[in-house]
């Protein structure tokens, strides 16, 4: 079946060869010159695919692989019966072995850096400690609630709720709440949270009251350039619905990786941008000591309130509640929409708490990345090292190119499988001043 412009229309079935894996969890195939982004398959397979939606001008279509004609060696039986076409949209790689998943993710990281930053970087995706099978790890799960009060998980690109029995990647503490076995009339969602140091909690959404506070304990160790080993152990208060790494081994792994790369020294000045509740800021404060300084910036007011409490015994830390672009005085793009033609970008004055220079910068931006203005401000500080924690390879690649414009080269890159069974991958990138840059 062809659409108005001659391409495939929704519902069409075609048999295609899958050639590559794309950023976002889709594999790529072509039919009569038209690109298909196909879920539930992997490169090297021949599948029968059903078109589920079309793109602008039908230049591409999205599809589900509903039958495998020729399977790739990495294909396995999905451990979850709710994974597959028309079912839960949370896991998009359950049909691939763990080794195969990590190889696909590494390929995406390499491809994005090559395409957007013009760098050829060899990288492997490492497992996060404590994860053997890729299941039972997710400590925070948001269950959607349908009109009848039943909790479940959403279909891919849909508001429909799939009434699953339980989530196979959820941590045991989440399962103990038995959210899907209860009814939740009048709610939009239920957030199930299994913190490290407390009983699991179910948070009703919406809820007029303040969210409960949970506590997460982090232990980590890392080598220093002088041959010593630093050990870290600390408990952090965080809002149950606030940001925290969902894999129980992720926070410690990322902290150890970041701190080994920055190798912060006594008396230095460090910036922790997008600081959350203060994980990196706390370790940086220990490293720079009472004669050093750490400035931590975070836009979420609840998170910075917790950060100030978490870091109260470290007076060398200043916590700033502000968007990072606002703190630097970087103009926000003008909002688009009716009546906004000619609107000027929003701009605030640079925060007086941000120093004119820094020795170390750590940034952990949201999925959209830091962007041109913030990357430019970071490089103007002329730090001796920048460490960037990225949850999106494309955003990392774009910002890598922007940091290069400011005279900083990519020196090291590690990638971690902090979200098994999904296409998501976390990267920690280290940037140093480029002697050949400006």
The residues annotated as belonging to the active site are 391
Nearest-angstrom CA–CA distance, 238 and 255: 17
Nearest-angstrom CA–CA distance, 355 and 268: 12
- Torsion sign over Cα 135, 136, 141, 143: positive
Task: Determine the straight-line distance between the first and last CA of the chain, rounded to whole angstroms.
Answer: 55
324 Cα distance to chain centroid: 18
Q: Is 270 helix (H, G, I), strand (E, B) or coil?
A: strand
H or E segment to which residue 256 belongs: helix 250-262
161 contacts 194 by C-beta, under 8 angstroms: no
Torsion (CA) 5, 11, 17, 22 in degrees, nearest 10? 80
- 159: burial class by Cβ within 10 Å (0-12, 13-18, 19+)? exposed
- The 3-class secondary structure across 351-409, one letter per residue, is CCCCCCCCCEEEECCCCCCCCHHHHHHHHHCCCCEEEEEECCHHHHHHHHHHHHHCCEE
């Amino acid at each position: 079946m062809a659409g108005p412009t001659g391409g495939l229309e929704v519902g069409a079935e075609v048999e295609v060869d899958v050639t590559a894996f794309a950023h976002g969890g889709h594999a790529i195939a072509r039919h009569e010159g038209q690109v298909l982004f196909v879920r539930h398959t992997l490169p090297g397979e021949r599948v029968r695919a059903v078109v589920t939606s079309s793109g602008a001008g039908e230049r591409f279509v999205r599809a589900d692989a509903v039958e495998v004609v020729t399977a790739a060696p990495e294909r396995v039986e999905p451990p979850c019966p709710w994974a597959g076409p028309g079912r839960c949209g949370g896991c998009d790689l359950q049909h691939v072995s763990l080794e195969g998943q990590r190889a696909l993710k590494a390929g995406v990281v390499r491809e994005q850096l090559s395409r957007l930053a013009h760098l050829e970087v060899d990288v492997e995706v490492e497992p996060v400690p404590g994860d053997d099978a890729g299941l039972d790890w997710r400590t925070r799960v948001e269950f959607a609630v349908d009109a009848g009060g039943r909790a479940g998980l959403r279909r891919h690109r849909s508001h429909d709720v799939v009434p699953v029995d339980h989530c196979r990647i959820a941590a045991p503490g989440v399962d103990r709440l038995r959210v899907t076995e209860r009814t939740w009339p009048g709610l939009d969602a239920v957030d199930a949270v299994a913190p490290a140091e407390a009983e699991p909690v179910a948070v009703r959404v919406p809820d007029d009251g303040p969210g409960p506070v949970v506590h997460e304990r982090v232990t980590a160790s890392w080598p220093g350039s002088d041959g010593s080993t630093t050990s870290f152990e600390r408990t952090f208060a965080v809002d149950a619905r606030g940001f925290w790494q969902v894999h129980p081994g992720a926070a410690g792994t990322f902290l150890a990786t970041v701190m080994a790369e920055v190798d912060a020294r006594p008396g230095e000045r460090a910036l922790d941008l997008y600081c959350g509740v203060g994980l990196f800021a706390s370790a940086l404060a220990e490293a720079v000591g009472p004669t050093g300084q750490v400035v931590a910036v975070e836009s979420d007011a609840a998170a910075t309130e917790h950060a100030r409490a978490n870091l109260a015994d470290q007076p060398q830390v200043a916590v700033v509640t502000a968007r990072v672009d606002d703190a630097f005085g970087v103009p926000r793009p003008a909002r688009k929409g009716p009546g906004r033609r000619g609107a000027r970008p929003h701009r605030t004055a640079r925060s007086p708490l941000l120093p004119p220079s820094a020795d170390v910068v750590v940034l952990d931006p949201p999925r959209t990345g830091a962007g041109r203005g913030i990357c430019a401000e970071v490089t103007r500080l002329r730090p001796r090292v920048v460490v960037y924690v990225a949850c999106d390879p494309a955003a990392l690649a774009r910002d890598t190119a922007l940091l290069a414009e400011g005279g900083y080269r990519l020196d090291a890159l590690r990638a971690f499988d902090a979200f098994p069974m999904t296409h998501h991958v976390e990267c920690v990138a280290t940037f140093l001043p480029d002697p050949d840059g400006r």
